[in-house]
Amino acid sequence: MAGTLYVVATPLGNLGDLSPRAAETLKRVVAVAAEDTRHSKPLLRHIGSTADLLSFHSHSSDASLHRILQLLAAGSDVAFITDAGTPTVSDPGAALVAAARANGAAVVTVPGPTAVAAALAVSGLAADRYVFLGFLPRKGPERRRLLAQVAASEWTVVVFESPLRVAMLLVDLAEACGAGRQAAVSRELTKVFEETRAGTLSDLADYYAETPARGEVTVVVAGTGHAPRVAPPADAEARARAWLADGMSRRDVADRVAAETGISRNSAYRLVNEL
């Protein structure tokens, strides 16, 4: 039978956050596939793991993937870890998980730390629903599109950023969302110099322009609190006018517009009442 691929969450920085189950798994498996073996070697040494350490990252060759799949096919258990936190969350690994499952291996999670949840927990912003966008592109139309998505989001948005670019990200967010939008910037989570600063995007942009960030950075931006208004289909107004002219009540017209065009009832009622 094929072996098991364990997707293991590791500490963001504080080694005390490694769960007993994660430590036991990393000691028991035959091999550990890691995003950066130089970064992961001290962790394995710390817990006394003698597992073979294999490199697997976003630029790994097919040969690296094939080697891991061979181990699994031979019945060996393999753990997959990233530099910090939960693998495949804005990190490589989805291809490995998919390939392992396609080749008959079981895939088991060993959950633990993630910067997304940690930053949300200390942000003071609503976290019952949120959107995670990972690292935004450095420039170009895709960056502008995602900035617009942050600005329009009904829910809290979480993004990762390099400390070297966080000041510029905050400037761009303030321009897209409005200077007064609330946000929080967390850096070095769980480490000695952990810091979370909360305030308006304008205030945070000013602060980090003067005080460059250090360490891993997670930015949390408040949502608008209301659903973005979706423009009705081009002929929705014409249909509504025709039905009103036929003597239908505004409520019936709104219900029919919603049913036949697919827009929400609230949008349909607003459209009819504005005619």
Last residue of a domain, one of 57, 85, 113: 113
Same domain, 25 and 108: yes
The number of angstroms, rounded, from the C-alpha of 199 to the middle of its chain's C-alpha atoms is 21
Q: Is residue 60 part of a domain?
A: yes
Same domain, 100 and 171: no
Average pLDDT over residues 43-72: 94
Q: Is residue 94 part of a domain?
A: yes
Q: Is residue 230 part of a domain?
A: no
Average pLDDT over residues 229-240: 73
CATH of the domain at 148: 3.30.950.10
Same domain, 196 and 251: no
Q: Is residue 231 part of a domain?
A: no
**What residues form DSSP beta bridges with 157?**
131, 221
Per-residue pLDDT tens for 107-161?
999 999 999 999 999 999 999 999 999 999 999 999 999 999 999 999 999 999 9
Q: Is residue 151 part of a domain?
A: yes
* Res 230: pLDDT: 60
Provide the edge-to-edge strand list for the sheet that holds 195-200. Answer: 130-135, 156-161, 217-221, 182-187, 195-200
Task: With CA atoms as reference, report the closest residue to 118 among 13, 24, 223.
Answer: 13
Q: Give me the domain span that covers residue 94.
A: 4-113
- Residue 177 confidence class, pLDDT cut points 50, 70, 90: very high
Q: Is residue 255 part of a domain?
A: yes
Same domain, 102 and 157: no
Same domain, 240 and 217: no
In whole angstroms, give the CA distance from residue 4 to residue 29.
9
CATH of the domain at 11: 3.40.1010.10
Q: Is residue 29 part of a domain?
A: yes
Same domain, 244 and 172: no
Residue 233 has pLDDT above 80, yes or no: no
Same domain, 183 and 216: yes
Q: Is residue 67 part of a domain?
A: yes
Task: Give the three-class secondary structure for 18.
Answer: coil
Same domain, 102 and 13: yes
* Res 231: pLDDT: 59
Which contiguous run of DSSP H or E holds residue 267?
helix 265-274
Q: Report the number of distinct structural domains present in the chain.
A: 3
The number of angstroms, rounded, from the C-alpha of 101 to the middle of its chain's C-alpha atoms is 23
Average pLDDT over residues 5-13: 97
Same domain, 161 and 195: yes
17 DSSP 8-state letter: G
Cβ atoms 254, 272 nearer than 8 A: yes
